[in-house]
Every structure is written in C-alpha cells, then in structure tokens.
C-alpha cells in the first residue's frame, strides 16, 4: 500500500513539477486541515509571481481525489483536509497489511558498529546508550529490508593486556576465570592497575607480556583468549538480560584488524598521506586544526611501533566497504569521539577507501546524568553496572505489579517485571533526542503514567484486554470507517501516520522520532477511549471502533518492537 503521506506528497510533487521541474514541496501533519503543504513561497519566488497566484496554479494541477477541502493559508500554505472515504481506504489497507503501511526499501547492506564494551571492564552507562540506540537502529533497518551487519567493536587489544595477563597469572587461571565470570570485571582491572602502579617488577613483566602478545607467543595468546572469552560471555549475559539482538558472532573486536594494519600503513604511505611527526606515523587530514590553528594528526602508528585505536578504525572502514560491501556504516558511539570519527572518515576518503556513495555516519549521543546533573555514578563514585540497574528496575516493577489486581501467576509476573524493567530503561534512552544528555531517574522511567515505556506497554495491554473480553477471536470482516466522532478521526489520522514516523526515525537516525509518535498515538487512543464506548456501542459502530482498537494495538506493538521493547498482552 502507499501510505497517506506518500500518496499526498506524490501528488504535490507532480503538481509542483508541472509548474517548475524539480520544485520541492514539503508536507507535514497539521492541526489545521489534516496535512499542511509548504513550498509555494519558494515556487512563487522562482516564477516571479504572487504566492496566492502560485497557490491557485498548484491547485489547478493537483489531483484532488480524496481531498475534501483545500484552504490557502497565510503566505502560501495549503491546508489539506482528507475525505472520510480516503481515510476509510487507508485504514482498510492498514488492516490488511502486516507492515502497517511501511514500505520495504531496496536491499541495502547497513553495518552498525555498536555497544563495543572493553574486555575486562564493566559495561557502563555509555555502553548502555550505544547498545540500546544501536539495537533500535538495527531493528529499524532490518524492518526496512536491509541486511544489517552488526559489529561489536570491543576493545580487546592494546597495552593494558600485558598487565591483565600478568594479573591473571598471579591469581591463577582458575581463580581469575571465577572472578571474571561472576562479572567482577572492574575489580579485576582495578587490582591489576594497582599492582602495575605500585610494583616495578610487575610493571616490567607486564611490558614484556605486551611484546609477547604482539609477537604472537602462543601461550600469551591463549591467556589473552581466556580474558576475551570470559568478558564476551559476560557481555552476552547482559545482552540477553536487556533483550538486545547482538550475538557472539557480531563480536569483531579491535584485534580482528591486526593482520590488516601493516597494509593500512603501507597504502597510506603509497598514497603520499603518511607523515612522520615526533617519531609517530600520522596523517594530517585537511581541515582539522587544534585551538592554536595547527594541523591535527591522526596517529596511525605510535612511536613504540604499536598501532593505535585509529589504525584499527581505518582498517575497519576498509573491511566494511571492501569485504562487507556496506552501503551505509553507522557508528553508535558517544559524542566525545566525534572528532576521532570525522578524522578517520576524512583519511579513509582521502585514501580512496570510502567512496562518496557510502553513507558513513557517527551516530553520536550525549551523557547519562545522575540526579545531581553530573555524570551518573554510584554513591561511592564508581561507574554504575548495567546489570545492577536492570536488577533494580526489575525489583521496582515487581513491587508495582504486586499492588495491582491481576490474574497472572508468579512466573508470568516475573517475566512481566523484566519486560517492564527493560521497557523503562530502553524507552527513557530512546525517547530523548540522542544528542542530548538525560537524567537517569528510575522513578520517572518506570511510572505507568507519562511519556514512559511502561505507559505504552500498558496502553497496548489495555487494548488487548478489550479483545479478551470479547471472548471469541475477533475477525473484522469488512469494516466501514465513517469516523463520525472527532476523537475517532483524530485517532485514525494518527494510525495512518505510522510509516512517516518510521521513515523519520530512519532518515534522522533518531529513534525518538518513533517513540514520540507512539506516545502521541497512545494519547489519541486515550482521548478516543474516554469519549467513545467500544463494546457497548451499537453495530456497525462497534465493529468500526474495534477495528480502530485493533490497529492501535498492532501499531503500538510493532512500533515498540522496532525499539526493542516488548508489548505484553496483559499487565
Ligand atoms: N570500545 C570503545 C569505547 O569503549 C568504543 C568503540 C567504538 N567503535 C569504534 N569503531 N571505534 O570507548
């Protein structure tokens, strides 16, 4: 089916095009009329006419079937009101369409680099954002029809591994594995660090160990593997608890690119891009300067011959374009790494590894703040473990459920509590503009009222309960939508707008465009439900209203699923 928005926009484009080829009208849902068209002003300017005259000319060329009324407002806005017949057709098509009007895109390959925690370090709230936003984007792209290749670029290489391996040996392998597998990654790292700073002999051993690791000493590599495998197994547990689609095969860490780094250096050199600066090998991409106006280097190989973070990212771009054939590469990483990525992309372009046809974007996000609006930390000043946050949210959800009358048994309640907890945490993250910071406030996030995940889950469950009360399974047959009540029409206009919300979230890489839509839809539903009785309404109104309920429930469930949030049938 063609969505309402696309149908109207298509007509506008044709009408504008007849007057000025390539003219670019815009359309948005609006409270005055159902949709408002914009672009007449620019067209009038280009044609050297008065906007009113241009508006009249557009109208002459516009296919008006399904449009009940057009009002020319202000300096050339067109307010379009749809006919009920048009909405009837659109709603009927939605009922018959599993995708609820969202078109399938061309088969593109999208690589999404997300989560990327560090081996032997706890996943902190920054990784929560990357994981939750990245997973929502992965689900949205998959739904569009892309082949999504997730890349969990874990930090599994570098100088700290010397001290981590020596610490593992000091503890004894068994003991070390035990402490890592209970998830005390930070404790392990901290202890290694303390020894490294205090004990010169340990420091020496650690340095020698890094050399052994880099030269491929088999026993050192085996011990390194132990550290990586234990950490990755722990991460997998966190992903399972969060219901995140990352799998073990998506873990393609920094170390994966080691064998490609020599070539990166060689090819940058051959392209004349490599410069020696202070003993390090660097590229100075055009347009990047520090505060003093001096050119900024991207360090590819350090003075000690070791390759750095940037080198593996350069190799990764090459791999993603050359071997994975990416059409689009997204890096869901915190805003502070913005310049790093801009420089990596610039160097990759200069080296010819990143053609302009590939969309390469740093999907940046802001910080998670504590109630004091400072970086979110535990009371003792440590980073907050994701898994602890989830446990606390689950406990709160269980407590809230215990106060409600319910027919669910204990097991069902336990499952429901985890679904609510995940929804609370994910939705709070996904419902703010990702570039902005947000305050982690569990009380607000888990509330059943307000712009929260549990509120949307509850709206969905309430809809499902209407159908449960019906008893027998409900088959709409043919529904005639007359939308006699203003609240019905308002809800219907919300329902037909789902495809735009999905498209907006995808094009802006902003999941909050979808969550904002879902919240608005739930509010439209609430207003409808308050003024329009459903089960007690006479036929054919009852069937029409049930169909609106069914579409609302399906839209909420599908929308939430694209954000990685469950929509339980009962709460
Ligand atoms: N491991 C890094 C960190 O914790 C994030 C890696 C992001 N991805 C990348 N391709 N550099 O900060």
- Mean of the per-residue pLDDT values for the chain? 94
**CATH level 3 topology of 386-562:** Isoleucyl-tRNA Synthetase; Domain 1 (1.10.730)
Site residues for ligand 1, CB cut-off 6 Å: 113, 116, 118, 153, 155, 313, 316, 331, 333
Give residue 132's pLDDT.
97
Model confidence at 539: pLDDT above 90: yes
Q: Is the pLDDT of residue 126 over 80?
A: no
Amino acid 245: pLDDT: 97
Query: Which two structure tokens, joined as six digits, stand for 309?
Result: 């973070």
Question: Of 434, 441, 438, whose CA–CA distance to 514 is shortest?
Answer: 434
Domain 4-82 has CATH 3.30.1360.70: yes
Q: Which residues lie across from 82 on neighbouring strands? A: 67
Q: What's the rounded mean pLDDT across residues 240-252?
A: 96
Q: Which atom of ligand 1 is nearest to the CA of 309?
A: 11
- State the number of CA atoms in the 13 A half-sphere of 361 facing the CB: 17
Range(s) for CATH 1.10.730.10 in the chain?
386-562
CA atoms within 13 A on the CB side of 331: 24
Phi/psi at 433 (5° precision): -50, 120
- Kindly give the distance from the C-alpha atom of residue 332 to the centroid of ligand 1, in angstroms, as a whole number: 9
Q: How far is CA 489 from CA 55, 65, 244, in A?
A: 27, 19, 36
Instruction: Mark 454-484 as b/e (b = at least 16 C-beta within 10 Å).
Output: bbbbbbbbbbbebbeeeeeeeeeeebebebe
**pLDDT for residue 336 is more than 80:** yes
Which residue(s) pair with 38 in the sheet?
A: 26
- The boundaries of every CATH 3.30.1360.70 domain in the chain are 4-82
Which whole number is the average pLDDT over 19-24? 91
Quote the radius of gyration of the chain (alpha carbons, Å): 28
**Which numbered atom of ligand 1 lies nearest the CA of 334?**
12
pTM: 0.95
Banded pLDDT at 454 (limits 50, 70, 90): very high
Token pair 């992309």 in the structure block, residue: 345
Q: Which residues contact 14 (CB under 8 A, 6 or more apart)?
A: 61, 63
Ligand 1 atom with least separation from CA of 127: 4
pLDDT at 305: 72
Ligand 1 centroid distance, CA of 275 (Å):
25
Is residue 383 predicted with pLDDT exceeding 90? no
> Please, which residues have CB within 8 angstroms of residue 446's CB and are 6 or more apart in sequence?
393, 396, 397, 400, 420, 421, 424, 452, 454
| Cβ–Cβ < 8 Å for 334, 365 | yes
Ligand 1 atom nearest residue 341's Cα: 11
Mean pLDDT of 499-515: 97
Q: Where are the alpha helices (DSSP H) in 37-159?
A: 40-47, 51-61, 84-95, 125-144
pLDDT confidence of residue 84: 97
Give the span between the Cα atoms of 222 and 232, in whole angstroms: 15
Separation of CA 327 and ligand 1 centre (Å): 21
Secondary structure (DSSP) of 441-509: -HHHHT-SSSSSHHHHHHHHHHHHHHHHHH-SPP---S------SHHHHHHHHHHHTHHHHHHHHHHHT
Q: How far is the CA of 432 from the centre of ligand 1 (A)?
A: 22
Residue 14, pLDDT above cutoff 90: yes
Which protein residue's CA is at the shortest distance from atom 5 of ligand 1? 116
Query: Ligand 1, closest atom to CA 155?
Result: 1
The predicted pLDDT at position 204 comes to: 95
Using a pLDDT cut of 70, give the percent of the chain over it. 100
211-213-218-222 Cα dihedral, nearest 10 degrees: 150
What does the pLDDT average to over 183-201? Answer: 91
| Residues 465-474 pLDDT 10s | 999 998 878 8
pLDDT, average across residues 556-567: 98
Using the mean position of ligand 1's atoms as its centre, give its distance from the Cα of residue 108 in Å.
24
Percent of the chain with pLDDT over 90: 84
Res 478 pLDDT > 90: no
Q: What is the pLDDT of residue 187?
A: 87
The token duo for 4 is 């309402």
Q: Among 228, 333, 335, 344, which residue has the most ligand 1 atoms within 8 Å of its CB, making it the best to mutate?
A: 333
| Residue 407 pLDDT grade (very low, low, confident, very high; cuts 50, 70, 90) | confident
Phi, psi dihedral angles at 160 (to 5 degrees): -60, -20
Mean pLDDT in residue range 263-274:
96
> What is the structure's pLDDT at 317?
98
Q: How many A from CA of 337 to the centre of ligand 1? A: 9
Q: Where residue 477 falls among pLDDT bands split at 50, 70, 90?
A: confident
pLDDT, position 325 = 98
pLDDT in tens, 409-450: 999 999 999 999 999 999 999 999 999 999 999 999 999 999
Does residue 142 have a pLDDT over 90?
Answer: yes
């Amino acid at each position: 089916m063609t969505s309402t928005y696309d149908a109207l926009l298509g007509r506008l484009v044709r009408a504008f095009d007849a007057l000025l080829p390539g003219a670019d009208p815009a359309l948005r849902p609006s409270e005055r009329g159902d949709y408002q068209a914009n672009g007449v002003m620019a067209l009038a300017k280009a044609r050297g006419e008065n906007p009113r005259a241009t508006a009249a000319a557009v109208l002459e060329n516009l296919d008006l079937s399904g449009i009940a009324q057009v009002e020319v407002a202000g300096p050339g806005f067109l307010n379009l009101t749809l006919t009920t017949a048009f909405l009837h057709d659109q709603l009927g098509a939605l009922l018959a369409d599993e995708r609820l009007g969202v078109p399938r895109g061309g088969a593109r390959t999208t690589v999404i680099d997300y989560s990327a925690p560090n081996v032997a370090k706890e996943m902190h709230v920054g990784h929560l954002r990357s994981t939750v936003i990245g997973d929502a984007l992965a689900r949205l792209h998959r739904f569009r029809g892309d082949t999504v290749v997730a890349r969990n670029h874990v930090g599994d290489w570098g100088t700290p591994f010397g001290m981590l391996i020596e610490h593992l040996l000091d503890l004894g392998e068994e003991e070390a594995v035990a402490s890592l597998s209970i998830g005390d990654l930070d404790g392990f790292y901290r202890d290694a660090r303390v020894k490294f700073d205090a004990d010169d002999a340990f420091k020496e051993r650690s340095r020698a160990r890094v050399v052994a690791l880099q030269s491929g000493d088999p026993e050192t590599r085996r011990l390194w593997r132990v550290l990586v495998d234990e950490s990755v197994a722990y991460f997998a547990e966190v992903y399972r608890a969060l219901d995140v689609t990352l799998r073990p095969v998506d873990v393609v860490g920094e170390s994966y690119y080691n064998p490609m780094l020599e070539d990166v250096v060689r090819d940058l050199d051959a392209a004349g891009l490599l410069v020696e600066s202070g003993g390090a090998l660097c590229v100075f991409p055009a347009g990047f300067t520090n505060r003093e106006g001096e050119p900024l280097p991207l360090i590819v190989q350090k003075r000690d011959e070791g390759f750095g973070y940037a080198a593996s990212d350069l190799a990764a771009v090459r791999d993603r374009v050359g071997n994975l054939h990416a059409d689009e590469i997204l890096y869901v990483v915190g805003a502070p790494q913005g310049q790093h990525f801009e420089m990596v992309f610039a160097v990759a372009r200069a080296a010819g590894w990143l053609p302009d046809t590939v969309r390469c974007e740093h999907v940046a996000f802001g910080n998670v703040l504590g109630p004091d609006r400072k970086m979110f930390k535990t009371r003792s000043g440590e980073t907050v473990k994701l898994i602890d946050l989830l446990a606390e949210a689950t406990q709160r959800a269980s407590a809230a459920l215990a106060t409600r009358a319910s027919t669910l048994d204990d097991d069902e309640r336990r499952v429901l509590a985890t679904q609510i907890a995940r929804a609370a945490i994910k939705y709070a993250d996904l419902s703010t503009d990702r570039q902005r910071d947000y305050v982690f406030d569990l009380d607000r996030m888990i509330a059943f009222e307000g712009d929260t995940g549990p509120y949307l889950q509850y709206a969905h469950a309430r809809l499902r309960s209407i159908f449960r009360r019906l008893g027998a399974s409900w088959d709409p047959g043919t529904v005639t939508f007359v939308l006699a009540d203003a609240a019905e029409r308002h809800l219907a206009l919300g329902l037909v707008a789902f495809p735009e919300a999905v498209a907006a979230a995808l094009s802006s890489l902003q999941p909050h465009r979808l969550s904002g839509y879902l919240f608005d839809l739930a509010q439209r539903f609430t207003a409808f439900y308050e003024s329009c009785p459903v089960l007690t309404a006479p036929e054919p109104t009852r069937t029409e209203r049930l169909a609106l309920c069914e579409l609302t429930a399906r839209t909420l469930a599908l929308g939430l699923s694209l954000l990685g949030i469950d929509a339980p049938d009962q709460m």
